Amino acid sequence: VTDRHLKRAGLDYWHLVDITYYDAFQDVLDRYAGRHSFYYCTTKGARRHTDAQYRDGDFFVFGKESRGLPEDLLAAHYESCIRIPMRRDFRSLNLSNAVAVVAFEAMRQLGFADLEDTGRLTGRKEFGG
């Protein structure tokens, strides 16, 4: 990862991530379709993100924050489109928030595998005394 903004966003966790680059999205589909499900995240989907049953290894496809995913892609995979419920007078969440909402739901369904399920107080005092 060379982009300084992307590096900064990942903090010091990049050593935990395996990155693979593809020339085209179709290459990703060719490699993983059939073994993993693809969910297309869009404001135009009919199914809520909480209604899908996620499995380990599923893919979530998000578009650009300004435009979303191309409609021809959505039409070709409409049964796999999911949406986050929104108020009618709101356009959508920003991309990072939408990713967080969908990823959290998937992790919840998978039992928060490999995540700490208890917190610990540190004993640190921050308020006056």
34-109 belongs to CATH 3.40.50.10470 = no
**pLDDT tens for each residue of 61-71:** 999 999 999 99
**pLDDT higher for 114 or 29?**
29
Q: What is the pLDDT of residue 129?
A: 56
Q: Where are the domains of the chain?
A: 34-109
Q: List pLDDT tens digits, range 85-116.
A: 999 898 889 999 999 999 999 999 999 998 88
pTM (2 d.p.):
0.84
Structure-model confidence comparison of residues 25 and 9, the more confident one: 25
Tell me the residue ranges of DSSP E strands in 1-126: 38-41, 47-48, 59-61, 81-83
Contact 48, 85 (CB under 8 A): yes
